[in-house]
């Protein structure tokens, strides 16, 4: 990874974190609770890992990046700001959606990204050319039927957790506060046994 790329990733995160919290800006005074308890607790993906994920997927300006469980929006915002792509974040937590929208406004990316407050299991993300995940193994496994049905060539990138017996096209190791972690890449299609379809 180049020093300039790391610097850009950290600058974006610093910009997101240096501003007042969304509640102090134009976000609603009070945001409601999620429709149901989220399947995965909120844990932001480190900025250097976001960069690794987007690089691994070879994100380009013609891509539409969907982040499932998008948290504060950092993945789709970086995809738009640093790679020129468009992005859609899906999260069930209205507080995270409000925060994501505020973060997109703060860095001038509202024309390139949008955020949907919904359950990722009931949202259509079939237009995606790239799908990013930082979810728990059981959630990844539940998503497999939907991911399998994505259009050929769609790239799926997951931080930490794999997709069971689906053989990854590429795995990159990254360092985190928890030690060495993996970032996995799959390119659709894959058959039910996890082997490549040729």
The CATH number of whichever domain residue 14 belongs to comes to 3.40.50.150
Strand order in the sheet with 86-91: 113-117, 86-91, 64-68, 130-133, 155-159, 179-187, 170-176
User: Per-residue pLDDT for 114 more than 50?
Assistant: yes
Of 193 and 179, the structure prediction assigns the larger pLDDT to: 179
Looking at the domain assignment, is residue 68 inside a domain? yes
Assess if residue 102 is contained within a domain: yes
pLDDT for position 194? 52
Predicted confidence at residue 59, as pLDDT, reads 99
Nearest CA among 105, 87, 92, 97 for reference residue 20: 105
- For helices 3-18 and 94-106, what crossing angle results, to 10°? 110
What confidence tier does 8 reach under pLDDT thresholds 50, 70, 90? very low
Question: What is the span of the domain harbouring residue 104?
Answer: 3-18+44-187
**Domain assignment of residue 192, yes or no:** no
- Asked if pLDDT for residue 34 goes beyond 90, the answer is no
Residue 30 lies in a domain: no
Which pLDDT does position 37 carry in this prediction?
65
Taking the C-alpha atoms of residue 103 and residue 16, their distance in angstroms, rounded to an integer, is: 6
Structural domain count of the chain: 1
State the pLDDT confidence band at 198, using cuts at 50, 70 and 90: very low
Does the residue 92 lie in any domain?
yes
Any domain includes 103: yes
| pLDDT over 90 (residue 190) | no
Average pLDDT over residues 95-110: 98
Inform me whether the pLDDT recorded for 5 exceeds 90: no
Assign 43 a pLDDT band (cuts: 50, 70, 90). confident
Q: Is residue 80 part of a domain?
A: yes
> What per-residue confidence (pLDDT) applies to 197?
45
Q: Looking at residue 19, what is its pLDDT?
A: 43
Q: What is the pLDDT of residue 48?
A: 94
Lowest mean pLDDT among 17-26, 41-50, 71-80, 175-184: 17-26
Q: Is residue 39 part of a domain?
A: no
Q: Decide if pLDDT at 22 tops 60.
A: no
Of 161 and 179, which is predicted with more confidence? 161
CB atoms within 10 A of CB 136: 15
Residues 10-19, mean pLDDT to the nearest whole number: 44
Q: Considering the entire predicted model, what is its pTM?
A: 0.78
């Amino acid at each position: 990874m180049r020093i300039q790329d790391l610097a850009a990733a950290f600058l974006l995160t610093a910009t997101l974190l240096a501003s007042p919290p969304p509640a102090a800006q134009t976000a609603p005074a009070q945001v409601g609770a999620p429709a149901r308890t989220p399947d995965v607790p909120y844990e932001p993906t480190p900025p250097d890992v976001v960069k690794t994920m987007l690089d691994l997927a070879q994100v380009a300006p013609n891509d539409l990046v969907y982040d499932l469980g998008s948290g504060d929006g950092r993945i789709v915002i970086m995809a738009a700001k640093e790679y020129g792509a468009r992005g859609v974040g899906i999260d069930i937590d209205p507080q995270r959606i409000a925060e994501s929208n505020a973060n997109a406004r703060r860095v001038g990316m509202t024309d390139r990204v949008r955020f949907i407050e919904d359950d990722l299991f009931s949202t259509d993300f079939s237009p995606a050319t790239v799908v990013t995940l930082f979810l728990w193994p059981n959630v990844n496994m539940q998503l497999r039927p939907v991911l399998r049905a994505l259009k050929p060539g769609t790239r799926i990138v997951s931080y930490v957790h794999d997709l069971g017996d689906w053989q990854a096209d590429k795995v990159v190791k990254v360092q985190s506060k928890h030690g060495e972690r993996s970032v996995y890449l799959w390119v659709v299609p894959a058959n039910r046994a996890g082997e490549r379809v040729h």
